[in-house]
Structure 1
Amino acid sequence: MKELTTDRLWLRRFTSDDSDFIFDMYSRWEVQRFIGLTPRLMTERVEADERTARYAAVEHPVHGIWAITDKSTGQRLGVLLLKPLPASGSETQPGPSCEIEIGWHLHPDAWGQGYTSEGAEAVLAHAFATGLNRVLAVTNKNNVASQAVARRIGMTRTGTTADFYNTECELFSIERE
């Protein structure tokens, strides 16, 4: 997985040292409320360790799960994802689709400072430079903050869909120029 940088950010691979941050971020309702079919708080440290290990294990030339880090201070800010988008299916677990999604989860202490847009633009540039032609984003219909980020990074809302994650969501798209 390629590390990326912007003026203010270092998007890097997760390490076991990130578990405390992961636990802190995903144990907050304001972060979790729009994630997943049935949002729930992370309540056990072992969950953070397992998630951090999963994030750290991503090894792909295009896809990635990056720790968003302030370049000057080293402060952890959130997570940026570029990964296959699960298609809705008849089972409780969505199956694979042919689409790639960009997504983000930011710690509330980092909200409102443009970090998500800045990091997401770098991830999109990486996606298109490595050959992807289109990237999608899906958001909970009530997550207006994430929808605003999608628009700020040049994505276009294409409607409401139930094609992904076995739920209805707002769909955004951007294509390589």
Structure 2
Amino acid sequence: MAAEPGPNFTTPRLRLRPPVTTDSDFVQDMYSRAAVMRFIGTGQIQPTRDQALDRIQRYRRLFGPGTGAWLLEGITDGAPLGFALLKHIPFSADISEADPSAAPDVEIGWHLHPDAWGRGYAAEAATELIAHARHCGHQDLVAVTHPDNHPSQAVARRIGMTSAGLTQRYYDTVCELFTLTL
């Protein structure tokens, strides 16, 4: 695999770095869990090594000016904990068709392994990525959650995002939208 495509960050408890092929066992374990996938995409688990490697490649392709997908690992033990993302969020088809020249919004998100839930890692990583987004000149961030994903909504509020209610603006589905002006 080529050199790391984006910056690394360190917080008091976390290291954020681009994922590499050797992370595939962790990625396979995490995204093969129904509890993790319940609120991500179609909700389908991804149990194979090939799916894990594909996800790593997709995440590496997200790196660009002020965007990326970082693996979170414990600073003291290097244990992988999940991912934090800054990426261009896809508009729903009706939004794209109405204004095909619209500049994409930037989404902040997080996916954590169940062993890391409830420890504040998502908010800690997201806070670091908000600082990165500001530094890169982003003006606003959005976060979307499944309407029933209350823990993720709590993270969005904890990092200073404001609920804007339900929307169908993204991903061709109904999401709870959170916004943050930088």
TM beyond 0.5:
yes
- Measured in 2, the distance between the counterparts of 1:59 and 1:143 equals 26
**SS of the residue 2:179 aligns to:** strand
Q: CA shift at 1:48, angstroms?
A: 0.6
Instruction: Name the structure 2 match of 1:165.
Output: 171
Q: Does 1:33 align with 2:33?
A: no
Does residue 21 in structure 1 map to residue 31 in structure 2?
Answer: no
Report matched runs for 1:61-76 at 5 Å: 61-76=65-80
- CA distance in 2 between counterparts of 1:172 and 1:159 reads 8
The gaps in structure 1 that reach 5 residues or longer are none
The match for 2:122 among 116, 123, 128 is 116
Shift of 1:54: 2.3
Change (3 A) 1:97 1:141: farther
CA contact under 8 A between 1:87 and 1:97: conserved in structure 2? no
Whole-angstrom distance in 1 between the partners of 2:164 and 2:60: 32
- d(CA) in 2 for partners of 1:169, 1:59: 24
- Taking a change above 3 Å as real, the CA distance of residues 34 and 59 of structure 1, as seen in their structure-2 partners, is closer
2:156 equivalent to 1:150: yes
1:150 is paired with a residue whose SS is helix
Q: TM-score, normalising length from structure 2?
A: 0.90
* 2:58 equivalent in structure 1: 54
CA positional deviation for 1:55: 1.9
Q: Distance in 2 between matches of 1:43 and 1:59?
A: 25
Q: Distance in 2 between matches of 1:5 and 1:61?
A: 19
CA–CA distance in structure 2, aligned partners of residues 59 and 114 of structure 1: 24
User: How far is the alpha carbon of 1:130 from its aligned partner?
Assistant: 1.1
Structure 1 distance, partners of 2:113, 2:165, is 27
**Alignment length (residue pairs):** 172
RMSD: 1.6
TM-score (norm 1): 0.93
